[in-house]
Chains A and B, each alone.
Chain A
Amino acid sequence: MSITPDHALEELLEFGRRFGDGLERLALRGAPEVGATARDEVYRDDSIRLYRYRGESSSNSRIPILIVYALVNRPYMMDLEEDRSLIRGLLRADLDVYLLDWGYPQRADRFLTLEDYLQSYLLHCVDWIRDAHGAEKLNVLGICQGGVFALCFAAMHPERIRNLVTMVTPVDFHTPDNTLTRIARKLDVDLLVDTFGNVPGSLLNATFLSLSPFRLGSQKYVHLADNLQDDAALANFLRMERWIFDSPDQAGEAFRQFVKGTFQENGLIEGTMLIDGQRIDLRAIRQPVLNVYASRDHLVPPTASRALRAAIGSVDYQELEFDSGHIGIYVSARAQEQIPRAIGDWLRAR
């Protein structure tokens, strides 16, 4: 070991000074604004909102695409800030971007089911956009849990979907490398929902962070000391912090259905998932599918995503592997450059 006490002491004191000096900046900074791109609310139903983003061009030739995000975090991750915005990239790729924001379920929403989310909220949004564009079919981009929703929806309403893009979407929940599943399979989900009603987002968040507790709970804050004097870096850091800890509670009944149907029973692969009394058969998906996944995803292992190829009926299936983790695929500089362009090119070719 090459550390001497004197050098270590100097380093420690320097760290203490830098961190101490920056504390005030960190304390007074407050919650940073998120959302970099202008948008209009075009439809609302209960807590959900459908937004249409304003692009630079107003060309009618722009291809409409609906982003379906997960319930477990907030969708502003897609438009975190100017240079970290998947949505801006999609607009630049000349797509007409819509985003479905599920909102924050209230206590009275505990009886919301997957039927409500898919057959009511999502269906109405899809139909609104189809009507607005006079189009029979729509392109859908499903992200993470939203990708599962998009797959189920496409299997139930294939006549409404032109092309489907899934991003970091789990399909086979029982691959051996799926840590979340190993925990979720042992959860007494009936007890949780019957006891809590809506399942607190903080519980889920604690579980997500527990998959890498030392990096996410300690190291990144120590490294923050290097950036406390840098306004832009500090703002970036705080935006990510806001997003990470902004975890909506989960509507109880939908949570029960989702955890049982996917994590516990692996219903998309086994063909046992039921929504609105209808068995979800992914083979009904014959549309072109682009499956984007992250090679170092600790939440949704690539194997869980890539199982989609064998599960669907589509002959036009393409994969795009991106070298990042689950979050880097939205916010890394390389992702901004590559992913929206790849999606735009893929859509235009169909």
Chain B
Amino acid sequence: MTKPQDSDPASDSLSAQLEIWQAWLKANSAAAGGDVAMSDSPLVRILESWRQKTAELPSVGSNSALERAIQAATEFMLMGQALIVSRAGAQGADGDAPGLTERLHAALLQSGLATHGTRGGTNLLSALLTSIPGELQTALGKVHESVAQGMPTSTGKTLLSELMSALGDPSRVAGASWERDIRVICARWADFQAAHERYANLLSEAASDATARMEAALAEDPTEYPPQRSLRLMYDLWIECNEDAYGELLAGEVFPEAYAETINALARLKAETGNLGQRLLSWIDAPSKEDLLVVQKRLHDERRRSCELESRFRAADHQRENLEHRIAALESLLDEARTLSAHRDAGNSDSRN
């Protein structure tokens, strides 16, 4: 058997790659129970070559479109591989290999596409963390990690040691009681986890629904979906199945509520971490959030007052202009009247003469 490691899948000719892949497929189809070790596949090396290629480029760090594209292409490649493996196993047999759609779905789940909810949660967490400054963020990150690993008793110690080093004044922090703060943060974290789990469970239900739709399509039911002749069409079909299943979930009441509650739970968690941050800041005599809000509010109100004054000034200016126009018009009328009067006086004088 040709070992995948002997060659570079990214640069080899198509036929050479085919050989590598077919050898791998052959080895795997002989494996007990037909289970395939995806991690050994040549695909992994292709993906790695993408990563290496992009890591060497200077602008990658700021190109998030690239990251999203690589993630999606990886999902597509995984789906393709799962399909190939299943079809190879079915060669010579009638119909599809048993469990084809389950394998496809497992591959896609592994790729992260069906775990869209986790991505959403990650985005929210990023937003939470980026809104907390500097060293405190590092400390809280460790607390999150600690709680996530199910070690609530160690959370307090982690928090204390991190915060003490962050603030650089252990004597002031060490004397304080942290118990309540830590208990509340842990409770909020647990609430967020529960909300997120509910949300993720609903997504899993939709994923199962999508699998059922995919099975119907693969059964070549012409009333549901057209027959699939390429990986790309298969992938597009999979996307459609998921959008349909997800769309139904979205149209109900339960999922939007779970989605909103995940955001609410995260906001509560951030509020608590914010409160903790405030307590810390108060010990180093830094201005509190409330102080800053008062200043911001005052700035806003002053700005608004200034706008109102400007507006009144403009209106007064406008009135002044109008009055000037009217005065000018009156003066013009007066001039006209004077001229007429002069003419009349001149006429009278002529007639008298």
A residues near B (Cβ < 8 Å) are: 1-17, 19-20, 23-24, 26-31, 46, 107-112, 115-116, 120, 124, 127, 177, 179, 182-188, 191-192, 194-196, 200, 202-203, 206-207, 210-215, 217-222, 224-225, 237-238, 241, 245
The chain A residue sitting closest to B240, CB to CB, is: A214
Which of B74-82, B138-146, B151-159, B164-172 lies at the interface? B74-82
- Which of A196, A212, A219 has most chain B Cβ within 10 Å? A219
- Which of A8, A26, A29 has most chain B Cβ within 10 Å? A8
The chain B residue sitting closest to A181, CB to CB, is: B256
Which of B300-308, B323-331, B335-343 lies at the interface? B300-308
Given contacts A5-B91, A186-B261, A222-B72, contact A245 B64 (CB under 8 A): yes
A110 to B260, CA, bound (A): 22
The chain B residue sitting closest to A22, CB to CB, is: B69
**Are the CB atoms of A9 and B84 closer together than 8 Å?**
yes
Residue B231 interfacial (CB < 8 Å): yes
A-B contact pairs, 14 of them (CB 8 A): A8-B83, A12-B77, A109-B300, A116-B304, A127-B314, A184-B260, A185-B256, A191-B267, A195-B268, A195-B274, A196-B270, A203-B123, A222-B73, A245-B64
**Are the CB atoms of B76 and A194 closer together than 8 Å?**
no
Residue B345 interfacial (CB < 8 Å): no
A12 to B58, CA, bound (A): 28
**Are the CB atoms of A183 and B256 closer together than 8 Å?**
yes
**Are the CB atoms of A120 and B304 closer together than 8 Å?**
yes
Please tell me the number of chain B residues within 8 Å of chain A, measured between CB atoms.
Answer: 89
Given contacts A206-B123, A219-B72, contact A15 B77 (CB under 8 A): yes
Residue B1 interfacial (CB < 8 Å): no
Residue B27 interfacial (CB < 8 Å): no
* Residues of chain A lying within 8 A (CB to CB) of residue B68: 217, 221
Residue B246 interfacial (CB < 8 Å): yes
Given contacts A13-B18, A219-B239, A238-B65, contact A20 B46 (CB under 8 A): yes
**Are the CB atoms of B268 and A191 closer together than 8 Å?**
yes
**Are the CB atoms of B296 and A203 closer together than 8 Å?**
no
Residue B236 interfacial (CB < 8 Å): yes
Choose among B57, B227, B228 the residue that contacts A24 (Cβ–Cβ < 8 A): B57
* Residues of chain A lying within 8 A (CB to CB) of residue B113: 214, 217-218
